């Protein structure tokens, strides 16, 4: 599973809109939307921020494993 699908799934699983999430992560909505749609690569520092926010591992976020635990 490509990481950008996992971004959307995590956001929806936490019942967040893109607007709500970007406010919590302090980033621009257009930038996040591009990450979620796979139009822009996710920088490591942003991936770490998102993984910490959701409490998942970077491997899970990247789609390398299916276990959310760190």
Please state, in angstroms and rounded to a whole number, the distance separating the CA atoms of residues 20 and 64: 27
Q: What is the pLDDT of residue 2?
A: 77
Domains of the chain: 3-62 (1.10.260.40)
Q: What is the pLDDT of residue 13?
A: 95
- pLDDT tens for 25-67 read 999 999 999 999 999 999 999 999 999 999 999 999 998 888 7
- pLDDT tens for 6-23 read 999 999 999 999 999 999
C-alpha separations of 60 from 8, 15, 19, 26, 48 in Å: 13, 19, 23, 22, 11
- Largest Cα–Cα separation, the chain: 29
């Amino acid at each position: 599973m490509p990481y950008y699908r996992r971004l959307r799934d995590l956001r929806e699983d936490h019942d967040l809109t893109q607007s709500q999430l970007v406010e919590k992560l302090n980033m621009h909505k257009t930038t996040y939307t591009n990450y979620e749609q796979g139009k822009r690569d996710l920088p490591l520092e942003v991936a770490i921020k998102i993984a910490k926010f959701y409490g998942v591992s970077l491997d899970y976020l990247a789609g390398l494993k299916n276990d959310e635990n760190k």
